[in-house]
Amino acid sequence: MVRSETRGSVAIVTLDRAARRNALGTESMRALSAALRAADADESVRAIVLTGAPPAFCAGSDLKELGGLSIPAMCDHEAETATVARSIGFLTKPVVAAVEGYALGGGFILAVSCDVVVSAENARWHLAEVTNGWLPVWGLQALLARVGPVRARLLTWGVESIDGREALRLGVADYTAEAGGALDRALAVAQGLAKLPPEAVTSTKRFFEPFVMADAERLDNVASRMFARDCESASAQATLARFTVRS
């Protein structure tokens, strides 16, 4: 579900569930957490790249897995995913996301939870949760830190998707690359960071941590409560019925 390799002083962590479009399930998130922690603990690694196996970065939560859960159990499942995403901000090494294809829902939020984001110009970014009838259940602080509250609100409403060029303009992404080139560009960025004095890189991440992470855990808890309440609405129930989620 997750592959890890190293190229020089850069670790590449790859979501590898192509058949499920790299969806975020219980086991894959646990594997991702272990891979990130291992890379952070490896003294030979100075930067990490997070990417997805083709055809995309990540399609979001694994609805097939969630389909058999009650709403409270679904909240518990998403809380575990939220913890993994938040942990990226507390690693000692910079994490660079390389986004190809699409980053949808939780995949969008996982990408923006990274320290640096590289997007293919034609990548599709979209938060569809509100369309489904509920607030995204975790990670909105990461989006707020990148684009501010007004743009974060607009993106969360998810009226339309954006491409990599628009993601760059809005601040969702930090760099763009031609289609198929996001990983190479992300590696170049990571290699540049890896050449810097590691202690100073970590100190920089730690200094900005309160501004980037802010109140992330509390806000995730707030969002989870709102999500559970939203799931009782008629529009959400209609969506959940398609995945046989029990209320």
CA distance 151 to 40: 32
* Burial state string for 6-43 with b = 16 or more CB within 10 A and e = fewer than 16: eeebbbbbbbbbeebbbbbbeebbebbbebbeebbeee
pTM confidence score: 0.95
Residues 118, 121, 124: CA angle, nearest 5 degrees:
90
Residue extents of the structural domains in the chain: 2-195
DSSP 57: S
- Taking residue 96's Cβ as centre, other Cβ atoms within 10 Å add up to 29
pLDDT given at position 176: 98
- Contacts for 199-205: CB closer than 8 Å, 24+ residues apart: 201/46, 201/93, 201/94, 202/92, 202/93, 205/91, 205/92, 205/93, 205/94, 205/115
Helices (H), 158-197: 164-170, 182-194
pLDDT given at position 19: 81
pLDDT given at position 245: 57
Cα distances (angstroms) measured from residue 178 to each of 22, 139, 202: 21, 27, 30
CA distance 73 to 183: 35
pLDDT given at position 78: 92
pLDDT given at position 178: 98
Note if 129 is an active site residue. yes
Element holding 241 (H helix, E strand): helix 234-241
3-state secondary structure of 30: helix
pLDDT given at position 66: 73
- Burial group, residue 51, by CB count within 10 angstroms (0-12, 13-18, 19+): buried
- Choosing from 65, 78, 100, 129, which is the catalytic residue? 129
Element holding 49 (H helix, E strand): strand 47-52
pLDDT tens across the length of the chain (247 residues): 999 999 999 999 999 998 888 989 889 999 999 999 999 999 999 999 999 999 999 999 877 777 678 889 989 989 999 999 999 999 999 999 999 999 999 999 999 999 999 999 999 999 999 999 999 999 999 999 999 999 999 999 999 999 999 999 999 999 999 999 999 999 999 999 999 999 999 999 999 999 999 899 999 999 999 999 998 999 988 887 877 755 5
pLDDT given at position 18: 83
3-state secondary structure of 111: helix
**Superfamily designation of domain 2-195:** 2-enoyl-CoA Hydratase; Chain A, domain 1 (3.90.226.10)
Check: CB of residue 93 under 8 Å from CB of residue 45: yes
3-state secondary structure of 207: helix
